[in-house]
Amino acid sequence: MRIKGNTFIVTGGGSGLGLSTAQELLRLKANVVVIDLKDDGKSFFKGQEQSVLFVQADVTSEASITKAIQQAIEKFGENIRGVVNCGGILSIGKIVGSNGKPLDLDLFKFTVNVNLVGTFNVCRLVAAQMVKQKPLEEGERGVIINVSSIAYQDGQIGQVSYSASKGGVASMTLPMTRDLSKFGIRVVSIAPGLFETPMASTLNHSKEMKQKLLYPVEYPARAGKSDGEFNKLVIHLIENTYMNGEVIRIDAGTRLGKL
């Protein structure tokens, strides 16, 4: 799929992986709809208003996402060719803590609601718009790229909520692909390892803990970069029409232990 001149939605586009993706799409002359719960990242797109639509919205809200899609059409036309779902949260907590208390059920529900239900909500509403649009070369109408995590396979201690939510994202990749293939819509998921993002920085790791986190990273033995590594993979998945129905790890060979 050609990127230049087409419209792409990026959830969580105000920071981290979403921000780098949105900026790379803009560099390649796409129209970009940035959806984020907070408007903190709006300043990053100052001066690019002709090609950017920043929408403050909750990915779990049908009304909010429906409105955002309508705003995108009003600004850029019926030309939504992709969505990259980077919006999500990180939560930590053991099923039973050291104090003997069970994990707060509301925390589990909230994590799954944002990371899994929110992703699905955006997918279904964007896909419904894509099927109405004229097909491109080879009958392609669009591409959906979801962000899972290597935690869906290598979930560590305290990641039961997060792993469950990201496992759901990974697991719906193939059935969603099969549902949408007849419309010429592709679905791919990315499972990142440890990346340099604001979400990761909220953990406030000590130097010792950071060394433990990086220990299972094979080569290069560092956190991944949003710019030049994650966003370049997104671009490849958009442009390569034969990429479909896969969950792709980007983790420098990392296999997490129980840490």
Question: What distances in angstroms separate CA 150 from CA 21, 97, 112, 115, 164, one per listed residue?
Answer: 19, 23, 16, 14, 11
Spatial separation of the C-alpha atoms in residues 219 and 29, rounded to whole Å: 33
For the chain, list the domains and their CATH numbers: 7-250 (3.40.50.720)
pLDDT at residue number 205: 58
Q: Is 74 exposed, middle or buried (0-12, 13-18, 19+ CB in 10 A)?
A: exposed
- Per the DSSP assignment, residues forming a β-bridge with 52 are 32
Q: Is 236 exposed, middle or buried (0-12, 13-18, 19+ CB in 10 A)?
A: exposed
Q: Which two tokens stand for residue 170?
A: 């990974």
Q: Which pLDDT tens digits describe the chain residue by residue (259 residues)? A: 999 999 999 999 999 999 999 999 999 999 999 999 999 899 999 999 999 999 999 999 999 999 999 999 999 999 999 999 999 999 999 999 999 999 999 999 999 999 999 999 999 999 999 999 999 999 999 999 999 999 999 999 999 999 999 999 999 999 999 999 999 999 999 999 999 887 665 555 567 767 777 889 999 999 999 999 999 999 999 999 999 999 999 999 999 987 7
pTM: 0.95
Sign of the alpha-carbon torsion through 109, 209, 190, 39: positive
Catalytic, out of 162, 215, 219, 242: 162
Q: Which two tokens stand for residue 161?
A: 């909520």
Q: Is 162 a catalytic residue?
A: yes
